[in-house]
Amino acid sequence: MTPLSNPPLSKNGLEAYWMPFTDNRHFKGHPRVLVAAEGMYYTRDDGERILDAVAGLWCVNAGHGRTAIAEAIATQAKALDYSPAFQMGHPRAFELAARLAKMLPGDLDHVFFTNSGSESVETALKIALAYHLHRGEESRRVLVGRERGYHGVNFGGLSVGGIPANKEDFGPLVAQVDLLPHTHHPDHNAFSRGEPDWGGHLAGALEEMVEKHGNQAIAAIMVEPVAGSTGVLVPPQGYLKHLREICDDHGILLIFDEVITGFGRLGSAFACEKFGVLPDMVTLAKGLTNGAAPMGAVAVRKGIYETFMDAADPDPAIEFAHGYTYSGHPLACAAALAAQDIYRDEGLFACAGELTPYWEEAVHSLGNLPHVTDIRNMGLMAGIELDPIPERPTARAFDIYLRAFEKGLLIRTTGDIIALSPPLIVERHEVDRMMELLATLLKQAV
């Protein structure tokens, strides 16, 4: 792609934009600006190319600058720019929902559209609460999440999320929430490859929660199959199956937040297939459109959809009082359909699976470098944990992030953990380059 011609940004020109999850004051003194992207690379405003080791923000699974997606968006914009989302439809939204329903396992066969992962999370939590109400179990109001879970930034997702720093300025949040313990215990599972063999029993904490809150109190539990944002925490062997069993025993809905793991990240279309566990709902976003348009989705099992349909008045009545102006936006649907064609035609989910052993060897080759205290991986994801600089948590990893950007590598850091999740088109020589650069940076780390 040809970079657009961009007037250089003056310090003043940076000021008005209040940037999300960004140290605005530092950034505006040391801006990092991207102007183009193609394949595995971004181009910076100084013309230098940057190797993308995080698929943008875990979303550009088919690589950047996919012409077919760009053309699908343009064609759609010319034909039908916007269609009201309520009491009306357009063909692409039905086509995309049917396609996702076909891709998803089991009877996860109805799809509600949103515009982001955060909105998918809110939507799923609201479906869970209303579902129990419609079934006459109105006592089920408790929503369960997990420590170190990330479910976006809206109130429901923050409430079931397990990152204290994201919550502390905004309370009171949703009242009836409880959190399971996280599964990351380096004393037992450091340097695991794939699923750690220690920790499956931690799912049993859900059983204890049922006792604590009462038999018909918990509505749903939401977990990321592999926690992404808090540093790639892979579930211990048997953990997710165990959660499923406890949910079945106690009538609790199991929601997998697959905003990151959906669309091939683990070598299968969805993590629920990879782990052989069928959740009641799946939240999606990011790779749905290859990052090319904002879009999210919630897939629900047939019985959930039918419960809403059966519970509503026979006279004209809206079954679920929820939705967004841009639910199923035509441009987003066009982008998503084109992205799904690419994933299918290029067999990208299988490519990710085939490259996984190579990726695993490559990331674990960094294990003996200075400051590295743990490495874990699954599919094309990896977390590299560093010991923090005393009194300055996050500073060591963030310094590596800044120097990586200078040297032409895009990584992501969270706390003192480096997170990697390259586009699924990544090739071995690019994996090698990522590891060479990271090894050099780790050797020079402060």
Contact predicate 304/390, CB 8 Å: no
How near is the Cβ of 114 to ligand PXG at its closest, in Å?
A: 9
Using Cβ positions, the residue closest to ligand PXG within the complex turns out to be: 117
Which one among 66, 146, 396, 412 touches ligand PXG, defined by CB under 6 A?
A: 412
Query: Contact letters (x/-) for ligand PXG, 132-161, by CB under 6 A?
Result: ------------------xxx---------
Comparison of 125 and 210: residue with beta carbon closer to ligand PXG: 125
Which one among 40, 51, 69, 121 touches ligand PXG, defined by CB under 6 A?
A: 121
Q: Any residues with CB less than 8 A from the CB of 283 and at least 6 apart, and which?
A: 117, 120, 121, 123, 124, 151, 222, 255, 256, 257, 258, 259, 296, 297, 298
Burial 333-368 (b: 16+ CB within 10 A, else e): bbbbbbbbbbbeeeebbebbbebbeebbebbbebee
C-alpha distance from residue 302 to each of 93, 111, 351, 399 (Å): 18, 10, 31, 48
Angle between helical axes of 348-364 and 428-443 (0-180°, round to 10):
30
DSSP, residue by residue, 297-322? EEEEEHHHHHHHHHHS-SSS--SS--
What DSSP state is assigned to residue 36?
E
Which one among 37, 259, 404, 409 touches ligand PXG, defined by CB under 6 A?
A: 259
Measured CA angle at 362 (ends 359, 364), to 5 deg: 105
Measured CA angle at 133 (ends 130, 137), to 5 deg: 140
Which one among 217, 405, 414, 430 touches ligand PXG, defined by CB under 6 A?
A: 414
Which one among 117, 291, 330, 353 touches ligand PXG, defined by CB under 6 A?
A: 117
Comparison of 224 and 374: residue with beta carbon closer to ligand PXG: 224
Which one among 43, 61, 76, 118 touches ligand PXG, defined by CB under 6 A?
A: 118
How near is the Cβ of 445 to ligand PXG at its closest, in Å?
A: 20
* Number of residues located near ligand PXG, criterion CB under 6 A: 18
Contact predicate 236/189, CB 8 Å: yes
Binding residues among 26-45 for ligand PXG as defined by CB under 6 A: none
Query: Contact letters (x/-) for ligand PXG, 298-337, by CB under 6 A?
Result: ----------------------------------------
How near is the Cβ of 24 to ligand PXG at its closest, in Å?
A: 16
Rule CB under 6 A: say whether 360 interacts with ligand PXG: no
Helix, strand or coil, per DSSP, at residue 389: strand
How near is the Cβ of 117 to ligand PXG at its closest, in Å?
A: 2
Radius of gyration of the chain (CA): 22
Binding residues among 215-244 for ligand PXG as defined by CB under 6 A: 224, 228-229
Q: Which two tokens stand for residue 100?
A: 């996702």
Comparison of 120 and 307: residue with beta carbon closer to ligand PXG: 120
Q: Any residues with CB less than 8 A from the CB of 398 and at least 6 apart, and which?
A: 413
Q: Which residues bind ligand PXG (CB under 6 A)?
A: 57-58, 116-118, 121, 150-152, 224, 228-229, 257, 259-260, 285, 412, 414
